[in-house]
Structure 1
Amino acid sequence: MDKFLHFIAENNLFTKEQPILLAVSGGKDSVLMAHLFAEAGFKFGIAHCNFGLREKASDLDEDFVKTLAVQFKVDFYSTAFPTEQYSNENHVSIQMAARDLRYKWLEEIRSQHNYSFIAVAHHQTDSVETVFLNLLRGTGIAGLSGILPKRDKLIRPLLAFTGKEVEKIVAQKKLAFREDASNASTKYKRNRIRLEVLPIMRKINPEIEKTFLANSKRFQAIASFLAQAVEELRSELFMVESNGETRILISHLKELNPISLWMYEFFSPYGFTEAVLSDLLRDWNNGSGRQFYSSTHQLLVDREYLILKPLVRESFVSHSIKEFPYEFTCFHKKYKVYSADRGDLSLTGFTQVVDFDTIKLPLLIRSWQQGDRFQPLGMKGQKKVSDFLISLKIPVTLKQEVPVVEDGSQAIVAILPWRIDDKFKVTAKTKKVIIFDEIKDE
C-alpha cells in the first residue's frame, strides 16, 4: 500500500477527493487495482467492457466484475461491443478495435458521471512489452518512453509494480479473478514478447523492469526537451496569416539539421507521416504547385514558401440519374452523362463509356464507402476500391471526393474519371452506350 500511495503522489495522479473511474476487466491486474482503491478509501466507480470475443466466458467476466462492484458498494457501468464487426468494417485488428471501442466508451462514462480520471491497470512489465513492440514497428523518442503514468484523463497507478509483483500480491491477498485463456496464446505479438522474449531478457538482466523504468524517465526528459525546442523554433519560423494559412520559408527549413527530424516534429501534429514528408523533401526543389496531404491539412510548395493550411471539405452531394442527358458537379469537376447509339461515335476522347444494356437504372453517383469492390477493366477478379485508389496515388484525404457510379442493382459501374468495371465494358455486340464525360473549362 505504501508503494502504491507513494507512486500516486510522486506522479501527481489524483487527489483523495477526486472520484476515479476504474476500468476493470476481471483479470488479476485490474482486480488488484480495485482492491487497492477500496483499501485506500478512494472514491471510485467500476466500468467493464464486454467485447463478446469469448462467448459465455465474456458474460461470466461481466457478472464477476459486477459482483465486485456490489462488494465495494460502488457504481457499476457496463457495455457490450460488436468488436468483430467493428474490426472488419474499419480494417483494423481485433486488439485495435477493442482498444478504440474501450477508450471511447470509457471517456463517455467519465464525462457523463463527472469522474476526474480513468484508471487502467497497466504495470511495469506491460510498459516493457510496449517498448519492444514500438521498436519492432519503428518508433521515435516518445515510443521509447513506454507507458506513461498519466496522459490527459488516463492514469495508470499500477505502474508502481512489475507483473511478478502483481501476481505475488494477488496470491498473498488470495484475490479471486478471471483468467483470459487468450493470454497464453503466442499468436499475438505482445504475448510472444511476454512469454518468449522477456524470459530470455531476464536471464541477461533480472531487473529489466527497473532498468526500463529508469530509461523511460530519461526518454521522457529528452522528449520534453525536444518538444520545447520545437515549439520555440516553430514560433520563429511559422508565419500565421489572417486567412488561417501558415507560411514557412523553405530556405530557413533547409538550414536545419537533421532536417528530416525537424520536419517530422514540425508537421506530424498536423497529421503528416514520415513517408509524405520524405516525398516533400525530395520534391520541393522541383518547382511550385506541388501539394502534399494529411487527413486534416495540406502543404503547398509556393516558390520560396511552404504553405500550411487546413483542409476545407465540401459535403459530397449524391445524384440519382434516371434520364439522359444529365450534368452534375462534384468537388469542382463537372461531368455530363448521356446515351448514344454505338454506331454514332468512335468511342474515343471520352472519360468513360459503358454498355447501356448491361446497366440497371437509375444510376447513383455517390462517394467511396468502406468495403467497396469492383473488377477494374482488363483485370481478373475483384479489387477493393480503396486499393485501386492507392495504386493511382490518390491521397487518402481525397478518397471521399472520388465519384463512384453505382447502378440500380448496387453494382459499381465506374470510378470516375479513371476506370469502369469490366462487366460493363463495350463489346462488338454493344448497340447503345452510356458516356461519362468530364467537362473541361474553356
Structure 2
Amino acid sequence: MRFVDRFLAFINENQLFKVEQSILLAVSGGKDSVLMTDLFAEAQLTFAIAHCNFQLRGGDSDKDEAFVKQLAEKLSVPFYSVRFNTEEYAAAEQVSIQMAARDLRYQWLESIRHREDHDYIAVAHHQTDSVETVLLNMLRGTGVAGLVGILPKRGVVVRPLLAYSAQEVRDEVARRQLIFCEDISNSSTKYKRNKIRLDVLPHLRELNEDLETTFAQNSRRLQLVNQLISNLVSEFRDTYFKKQGDGRFRIDLKAVKALDPLDLWMHELFHPYGFSESVLGDLVSSWDDGTGKHFLSPLYEILVDRDHLILGPIGEKQQQEIDVGSFPCQFWWYNERYAIRVAEKTDVEVGQFCVMVDFDQVEMPLTVRSWHEGDRFQPLGMRGKKKISDLLIEQKVPRIKKLEIPILVDARGLVVAVWPWRIGDDFKITTKTKKVIIFEKIKHG
C-alpha cells in the first residue's frame, strides 16, 4: 500500500473528517508537520496552514516562521501566523514553558478555525508520540484515560499521522527529500519527553522491536475499557450529583461509600475537578468525623455536610479592606490572624520582624487591603517602581491566592509593605528612626 493510501485509509477508518471538508494544519516546520502537509497536498485535500512563533529560540524561531510561510505560498494555500511571548505567559500563569506553548497554540488554532470557517485542526503527532505520552502519564500517575495515549480524534482536533511510527516518518521524509526545520531543543534531555525518546525507548525496543504496534493495540483495548468506565461514571453522576440553585452539586454520601473499588471510583468521579489522590484519600479517611470539613483542588472544593458531599467551584474571593485606626490592632485576614503595633526602636532589633517600618514616615491612618490591578511601589533597596503583580509572580503566588496577600497602605495611598516580602523604600528604618510600626502574623495555638 502506498504511503498516502495508508494515510487516507487511517482517516477513513477513524472517521477523522470527510475529504470535502476544510482542514487547518498546525505546521511548525519540523519534519512531522512538513510530511503531513505534503500528504494533504498529494491527496488533494482542502487545507490551510497555521504557524505559531513562540519566540523561544531567537532568530531560529523567526526562520521557522518564514519557512512555513514560504511552504504555504508554494502550495498556494491560506497561511496564518501568530507570535507569542511564551515565557511571559508561563510566568503569569505559573505553568511550564511546554504547557504554556500548548495552551497558547490550541487556543489560537481554535480561534482561527472558527473565524476562517475550517472544519478541523490537524496536528502531526505520530505513534511514537503516543508511546511517549503513555510512559509520561505512567510516571506522573494517571487513571485509565492516561494509558490510552493520544487519540486520533478529540473534538475538532485530528491526528492523521498516528498511522505511522517516528521511524516511518523519518524514512518517508528522506524518500521524498522534503526540506524541514530542525529544532535543536529536540536533542536536549532536560525535557522529560525528550529523555524518554532518546534514552528510554531505545532500551524498550531491545525488548520489543514493534513497540509502537504493541502500544497501539493496547491503546485500542484500553480505549474500550475507558469508555466502559466513563459510561458507568456518567450514569452515577446523572443519578447522584444533584445540581443546586447556586450551581454546586449535592452528592449522596451513602451512595459514594457503597462504590467498589472505592479508590478507582473516587479518582474517576473527582479527578476531572482537579482533586489529587492524596486529597481524595484524606476525604475518604475523614468523612465519618463529622460535618464541616473542606477539601480543596486548585479550582474546586468538597464540603462534608452530614449525609452529603457538596461539590462546587471555590468562591470568587472579594477584595478586602481593613482600616487601622489605632494601635495595637489585631484582625483576621483570610483565615489568618495579624497584628499591627508600634514600638520604640530601642526595644527591637532591626530585621527582627519581616515587616517593620519607620513610624514617622507613614501618614495615618493605615489601611490593610487586597492587591489592586496596577498597584506599584518602590521596594527597599531598588531604584524605580515595581508592579506588585510582578512581585506576586516572582513569589509564585497562585492566581487564586493573590487577593489573600495583605498590603499595607498609608493615607496618601502609598504602599508601605507587601506582607511578608517587601517594604517600601520610603519607609525604611534609618539612624533617625525613633518609633517603628510592626506588622506580623499571629501564630495559631
TM-score, scaled relative to structure 1:
0.80
Give how far 1:80 is off: 1.4
Indicate which of 405, 408, 413 corresponds to 2:407: 405
Q: Does 1:173 align with 2:173?
A: no
The answer as to whether partners of 1:363 and 1:406 remain within 8 angstroms in 2 is yes
Helix, strand or coil at the partner of 1:367: coil
The aligned counterpart of 1:367 is 371
Q: Does 1:40 align with 2:48?
A: no
The answer as to whether partners of 1:23 and 1:121 remain within 8 angstroms in 2 is yes
Give how far 1:251 is off: 2.3
Change (3 A) 1:16 1:260: same
For residues 366-391 of structure 1, what are the alpha-carbon distances to aligned partners after superposition, in whole Å with 9 as ceiling and x for unaligned?
A: 23999x9x99xxxxxxxx9799999x
Taking only aligned residues, the RMSD between alpha carbons, in angstroms, comes to 4.1
For residues 319-360 of structure 1, what are the alpha-carbon distances to aligned partners after superposition, in whole Å with 9 as ceiling and x for unaligned?
A: 8x7x95699x999999999987869xxxxxxxx995552765
Helix, strand or coil at the partner of 2:406: strand
Indicate which of 163, 166, 177 corresponds to 1:160: 163
The answer as to whether partners of 2:392 and 2:402 remain within 8 angstroms in 1 is no
Matched to 1:303, the amino acid is: R
The aligned counterpart of 2:435 is 431
The aligned counterpart of 1:393 is none
Matched to 2:186, the amino acid is: N
The aligned counterpart of 1:200 is 203
Change (3 A) 1:389 1:176: closer
Indicate which of 189, 209, 212 corresponds to 2:192: 189
The aligned counterpart of 2:388 is none
Structure 1 residues 51-200: aligned runs within 5 Å: 51-200=54-203
The aligned counterpart of 1:236 is 239
Matched to 2:11, the amino acid is: I
The answer as to whether partners of 1:426 and 1:433 remain within 8 angstroms in 2 is no
The aligned counterpart of 1:268 is 271
Helix, strand or coil at the partner of 2:419: strand
TM-score, scaled relative to structure 2:
0.79
Structure 1 residues 207-222: aligned runs within 5 Å: 207-222=210-225
The answer as to whether partners of 1:324 and 1:337 remain within 8 angstroms in 2 is no
Task: Determine the C-alpha separation between the residues in 1 that align with 2:254 and 2:183.
Answer: 56
The answer as to whether partners of 1:389 and 1:399 remain within 8 angstroms in 2 is no
Task: Determine the C-alpha separation between the residues in 2 that align with 1:168 and 1:299.
Answer: 52
Give how far 1:127 is off: 0.7
The aligned counterpart of 1:346 is none
- Give 5+ residue unaligned stretches, structure 2: 346-353, 381-390
Task: Determine the C-alpha separation between the residues in 1 that align with 2:394 and 2:101.
Answer: 25
Task: Determine the C-alpha separation between the residues in 2 that align with 1:87 and 1:389.
Answer: 11
Structure 1 residues 376-395: aligned runs within 5 Å: none
Mean CA deviation greater in 290-299 or 40-49: 290-299
Give how far 1:60 is off: 1.2
Change (3 A) 1:46 1:255: same
Change (3 A) 1:133 1:413: closer
For residues 88-143 of structure 1, what are the alpha-carbon distances to aligned partners after superposition, in whole Å with 9 as ceiling and x for unaligned?
A: 33333222222222122111211211111111100001111111111111111111
Mean CA deviation greater in 249-258 or 18-27: 249-258
Count, aligned residues: 411
Task: Determine the C-alpha separation between the residues in 1 that align with 2:313 and 2:193.
Answer: 37
Task: Determine the C-alpha separation between the residues in 2 that align with 1:334 and 1:257.
Answer: 39
The answer as to whether partners of 1:46 and 1:75 remain within 8 angstroms in 2 is yes
Give how far 1:54 is off: 1.9
The aligned counterpart of 1:357 is 359
Task: Determine the C-alpha separation between the residues in 1 that align with 2:11 and 2:147.
Answer: 22
Q: Does 1:31 align with 2:34?
A: yes
For residues 2-28 of structure 1, what are the alpha-carbon distances to aligned partners after superposition, in whole Å with 9 as ceiling and x for unaligned?
A: 100010011111112221110101111
Give how far 1:300 is off: 1.3
- Give 5+ residue unaligned stretches, structure 1: 344-351, 376-383, 391-395
Task: Determine the C-alpha separation between the residues in 1 that align with 2:395 and 2:56.
Answer: 32
For residues 284-312 of structure 1, what are the alpha-carbon distances to aligned partners after superposition, in whole Å with 9 as ceiling and x for unaligned?
A: 12211111233443321112221223444
Task: Determine the C-alpha separation between the residues in 2 that align with 1:257 and 1:387.
Answer: 44
Give how far 1:189 is off: 1.6
Q: Does 1:290 align with 2:293?
A: yes
Task: Determine the C-alpha separation between the residues in 2 that align with 1:249 and 1:389.
Answer: 37
Matched to 2:419, the amino acid is: A
The answer as to whether partners of 2:321 and 2:367 remain within 8 angstroms in 1 is no
Mean CA deviation greater in 22-31 or 271-280: 271-280
Structure 1 residues 260-339: aligned runs within 5 Å: 260-316=263-319, 324=325
Identity of aligned residues (%): 46
The aligned counterpart of 2:254 is 251
The aligned counterpart of 1:15 is 18
Task: Determine the C-alpha separation between the residues in 2 that align with 1:195 and 1:411.
Answer: 52
Helix, strand or coil at the partner of 1:130: helix
The aligned counterpart of 1:414 is 419
The answer as to whether partners of 2:405 and 2:418 remain within 8 angstroms in 1 is no
Task: Determine the C-alpha separation between the residues in 2 that align with 1:133 and 1:368.
Answer: 39
Task: Determine the C-alpha separation between the residues in 2 that align with 1:97 and 1:389.
Answer: 16
For residues 256-292 of structure 1, what are the alpha-carbon distances to aligned partners after superposition, in whole Å with 9 as ceiling and x for unaligned?
A: 1221221221122333232321221122122111112
Helix, strand or coil at the partner of 2:149: coil
Change (3 A) 1:426 1:183: closer
The answer as to whether partners of 1:20 and 1:45 remain within 8 angstroms in 2 is yes
The answer as to whether partners of 1:7 and 1:160 remain within 8 angstroms in 2 is yes
Matched to 1:309, the amino acid is: G
